[in-house]
Structure formats: structure tokens, C-alpha cells
Chain A
Amino acid sequence: MKFFYILIIFITSTLAHGSQNENLENNIYKNLRCLVCQGQSISESNSDFALTIKSVVKDQIQSGKSENEIYNFLSDKYGDWILYRPKINKINFLLWIVPYAALIFGAILIYSIVKKRNN
């Protein structure tokens, strides 16, 4: 019974959600690379290029474009390099899979080590 209550409280507490609309703009800036800088995002950079991109992104948010649409627009013009979040496609799927594959492999390894004792 106690456990059931705890479960309910746990689930409801994690579902508490807030509005974060102001953050959309900032999040997009953080996910774009400044092409003329050495390893800085549009959010951090003060370069001319970054300021222009910020302006363009602001306009697109105003006209109702979604985050993904904006990313696609920019990677269409500048290549995938401008996006900090690698797309999930044929080339990149290994990137996303290898860490979890390693996790599973490690689990199997540990399981076989611990199991040996109990035999």
C-alpha cells in the first residue's frame, strides 16, 4: 500500500511541466554553430555572421516556423556542419547506437561474471 502511494506521488511529481517559450530562441542559438568562429555557437559568438543568423532565426520564429523547420532550412543552405545536434540518418546512426550497444554489451559481460559465482 505504502509503495503504491509512493509510486503515485513519484509519477505526478515528474509530470509537473512549465512553459518555456522564451527559451526556444535561445535553444536554437545554442544548437547552431558559428561558421566563421573557432568552435563557438551562434549564442556565444559576437561575430557579424552570428548576429545576422540570430536575426533571421528570430524572424522565422515570428512567422511560426518550428525548431526542426529552422534547422532544416539552415542545414539546407550551409550543410550539416552548422547543426550541433547530428541528424539521425544513414551516416550518423552509428553515432547514436554505439553508446547504447556498449551499455548492453557491458551489462551482458557483468551478468556473466556475476553469474559464474552462483554456479
Chain B
Amino acid sequence: MKINFLRIFFVSIVFFIIVVFFFSLTQSSKYDTSKMVGKKISNFEIEEFYNNKLISEMELKKSNYNLINFWSSWCGPCRDEHEVLLKLKEINKLKIIGVNFKDKKPNAINFLEELGNPYNLILVDANGKKSIDFGIYGVPESILIDKNLTIVKKFVGPLKPRDYVEILEILNK
């Protein structure tokens, strides 16, 4: 009796493992942090791009929604998403804050002159350490934050037109 129970137990474990393996083939193995939503962003102090004034998270409370976009002049996909950013700038409820990531000021200024400036406010993170506070691991990345400083949505990679639509939907709720 005991032996039969053991046999069934082992066979079911083996069966379970095989089923899990089959399912795992359907998962993608690339990892991204877009699921890290729902938490509050931590307090920060970052220098403003032009006048080096220190800006803190209090600045974000001034508007209903903020989109923090991390970008660099040397980043190719950042050029691709610029159109979407310019469109987003036209939305009143949304304030767009750019964080210039590991960049050189002259190059950044040229980049904005060439493609246009979609930002209400630009901050600078020269060594990339401040961006760690936001859970950033590459550029471009964007974070949508509400009035309570909660992360509503994370966009890893360049913003696409469908992301524009999604942001509109969230803002209009």
C-alpha cells in the first residue's frame, strides 16, 4: 500500500515537472522591469539641467500626472520616440520631465535643438546614479506617475504610438 502511494507520488511529481517545462517554452526569457508598478517613487534631489537648481519629488506634486523620460543624445532609440514625446507635450494634464542620462551638456543641447524640446522640465544625471532610484537600467525608459507619486506605468524602451494611446486612456479615467 505504502509502495503504491510512493509510486503515485513520484510519478505525479515527474508529470508536473514535465508540464511546467512545456509551459515554460511559451515564456520569453527576456526580463524587463515593466511589471514594477504600484509602488511610490522614493524621494530624490536632482539638479536642473540649465541652472543646476536642486529639484525634489515635491515638484511632481504640482501636476496630476508626470511622465519622467530618461534620455541621452548618444541613444539611437531616443530619437525614434521623440515624436511621441512631442505629441504628449500637448496634453495639459501631463507634465513631461526629462532626465538627461550619462550625457555631455553640449551634445544634449544639440540633440534638443535638432529634434525639438518636449520637456516641461529637464533634469540632469551625469553619472547615472540618481536614475537607479527610479529603477532605470538603460535608455530610453519612461515612468508615468500620478499625483500621489505612485508609479502607474513603466515603459522600457522607446515610446510607441500605442503607448501614447494608453497614456491618454489612463489620464482620462
Contacts and interface: CB of A to CB of B under 8 A. Distances in A.
Do these two chains interact?
yes
Residues of A in contact with B, size category:
10 to 19
- Name the residue among B33, B131, B134 with the largest chain A CB count within 10 angstroms: B33
B81 to A, nearest CB: 19
A56 interface: yes
A22 interface: no
B161 interface: no
Interface in A62-119: 76-79, 81
B127 A52 contact: yes
Contacts, number: 36
A77 B135 contact: yes
Given A48-B102, A52-B127, A78 B33 contact: yes
A35 B131 CA distance: 15
Residues of B in contact with A, size category:
10 to 19
Interface string B34-64: 0110010000000000000000000000000
Contacts of B157: none
Interface string B125-138: 00111011111011
Contacts of A35: 31, 33, 137
A69 B163 CA distance: 34
A78 B10 CA distance: 37
Nearest to A53: B132
Main secondary structure of the interface of A (DSSP, over half): helix
A56 B132 contact: yes
B129 A79 contact: no
Nearest to A34: B137
Contacts of B127: 52, 55
B53 to A, nearest CB: 22
A36 interface: yes
B134 A81 contact: no
A48 B128 CA distance: 9
A59 B129 CA distance: 10
Interface string B12-50: 000000000000000000010101100100000000000
17 contacts: A36-B137, A48-B128, A49-B137, A52-B128, A52-B131, A53-B132, A55-B127, A56-B129, A59-B129, A77-B33, A77-B132, A77-B133, A77-B134, A77-B135, A78-B33, A79-B31, A79-B35
